[in-house]
Chain A
Amino acid sequence: MLAALVDLNHPGHYLHWGFIQLSVANALVILAMLVVFALAIVIPFRASRRQR
């Protein structure tokens, strides 16, 4: 059996920036969304013949 990629058996880690408090897990998800969004703009899309 493979162990979990991230050990969840401990309290979560949090980032603090003034009044902003953000869990590391949520920060990673937001970062992943930004990366995917940037890639979606940059990577060319293979055009289909069904376009006009």
Chain B
Amino acid sequence: MTTQVPPAVDPVETPSWTGGLRRAAVRALPPEKLLPDKQPSYVASWVYVFGVLTLAAFVVILVSGVVLVWRGPSWWHVSKVGLFFNSIHLWSVELFFFFMVIHLWGKFFMAAWRGRRRATWITGVVSFVVSIGTAFTGYLSQQNFDSQWISTQAKDGLNSVGVGALFNVMNFGQMLLWHVLLLPVCVAVLVGLHLLLVRHRGVVRPIKVRSAVPARLGADGPGPDGSKEA
């Protein structure tokens, strides 16, 4: 008597949205592209380091923020450890913007939107803008004279453009909740999308140098995704 063993993988592509999504995801980002172990030779420059430095600072911001949320304001304002984590949170934000601005300069002068990388560039720009909003609500949540000054100055500007009723900087509870939930989720989603697009399209190569010998720098030929310059 023989028994039939079903095949391990169903060769027939069943028409379902989950299957379609999986196939599209694997097509766009195969594992070797999602987590590469090699990079083009032109990435061997310090200019390419600032994106990942920004990401590292973002991770420190999230972790220190979670610690602050865990223990609450009565802890971070009073205890020494709380003040330490409060400072870690502040200074990681400072470094986040420091590295992100240098990353932005590098990519701007490299015209990093070339080679069908427009979406990568735009998600980066939107992440930057939303990060400014997140930092702004953070400064409003400090519960000190600085935050009072910032909120009373900002309310006039926001009222003048008609968003003061929806986004009330004098409402401490609203600002704190935007800072600890809504805006960090937006930044995390945008940064995640930005990273996936970087992996999908590859790191942009330097602009072609006509006078020198550019082949060593990888300036000639298509990018990692086979694309040509826009």
CB-contacts of A2-23 with B (<8 A): none
Is B44 touching A41 in the complex (CB atoms < 8 A)?
no
Residues of A contacting B106 with CB < 8 Å? Answer: 37, 40
Closest to B224 in A: A52
B73 at the interface (CB under 8 A from A): no
A29 close to B (CB within 8 Å): yes
The residue from B41, B46, B50, B105 contacting A52, defined by CB atoms under 8 A apart: B41
Residues in B with CB closer than 8 Å to A50 are 37-39
B176 interface residue per 8 A CB criterion: no
Q: Is A47 an interface residue (CB 8 A)?
A: yes
Contact partners of A33 in chain B: CB under 8 A = 98, 101-102, 105
The verdict on A41 contacting B46 (CB below 8 Å), with A33-B98, A33-B101, A36-B102 known, is yes
B43 on interface, CB distance cutoff 8 Å: yes
- In the complex, whether B173 has a CB less than 8 A from a CB of chain A is no
Question: Residue B40 at the A interface, CB < 8 A?
Answer: yes
* A26, chain B: closest CB distance, angstroms: 11
A43 touches B41 (CB 8 A): no
Q: Which residues of B contact A32 (CB under 8 A)?
A: 98
> A29 — which chain B residues lie within 8 A by C-beta?
94, 98
A29 to B99, CA, bound (A): 11
Contact code string B40-63 (vs A, CB < 8 Å = 1, else 0): 110111110110000000000000
Produce 1/0 per residue, A28-52, CB < 8 A to B: 0100110011011101011110111
| Residues in A whose Cβ lies below 8 Å from that of B37 | 50
Closest chain B residue, CB of each to CB of A37? B102
A51 touches B38 (CB 8 A): yes
CA distance A50 to B37 in the complex (A): 7
In the complex, chain A residues whose CB is within 8 Å of the CB of B38: 50-52
A residues sitting closer than 8 Å to B (CB atoms) are 29, 32-33, 36-37, 39-41, 43, 45-48, 50-52
Please name 20 further chain A to chain B contacts, defined as beta carbons within 8 Å, in addition to the given A48-B44, A50-B37, A52-B38, sorted by A numbering: A29-B94, A32-B98, A33-B101, A33-B105, A36-B98, A37-B102, A37-B105, A37-B106, A39-B46, A40-B45, A40-B47, A45-B44, A45-B45, A46-B44, A47-B41, A50-B38, A51-B39, A51-B40, A51-B43, A52-B40
